[in-house]
Amino acid sequence: MYNVIDKETLKDNIINEITNGKSLAVICNNESSLSSSEVYRLLNKDEQFRDRYVRAREQQALFYAEKMQQTIADLPEKPTREEVDKCRLSIDVDKFIAARLLPKVYGSNQNQTNIQVNVSPVTGMQIIDED
């Protein structure tokens, strides 16, 4: 199927492309001779590749966060309503992607459960000293 050097080069390319914001589907369709199912099999077999892949996905989320900042920075000083709407849409899409890639950092907190703990002192109790 593939020799060792080709697989290692393909793994490196996959990691680099993910870090640069591309999805695995796009990478496999455009630039790799591996299918996504073969990549998932490699992830199951190769612990080092799996660790690199996880780190690359984290970097991919950071890529989208930086892209959001750049989108805002690229707005003209006095943007039109259309430019602002386009910027908002772009940021919403990037935020959605980043939240799916790294939900603990970029996900919404809407599903968090708020627990209130009563820490006020209990009254009406007497402390008994048995000495």
For 5-17, how does the pLDDT look when each residue is reduced to its tens digit (9 = 90+)? 478 888 899 999 9
The model's pLDDT over 29-78, given as tens digits with 9 standing for 90+, comes to: 875 577 888 889 999 999 999 999 999 999 998 899 899 999 999 999 99
Q: Which two tokens stand for residue 12?
A: 């490196």
Strand blocks (E) in the chain:
none
Start-to-end CA distance of the chain, whole Å, equals: 83
CATH of 4-105, one of 2.40.30.20, 3.30.420.40, 1.10.3720.10, 1.10.10.60: 1.10.10.60
The backbone region for 21, taken as left when phi is positive above 0, alpha when psi lies in -120 to 50, beta otherwise, is left
The model's pLDDT over 75-119, given as tens digits with 9 standing for 90+, comes to: 999 999 999 999 999 999 999 888 888 887 777 765 554 445 544
Q: Write down the pLDDT at residue 1.
A: 43
Indicate the domain borders of the chain: 4-105
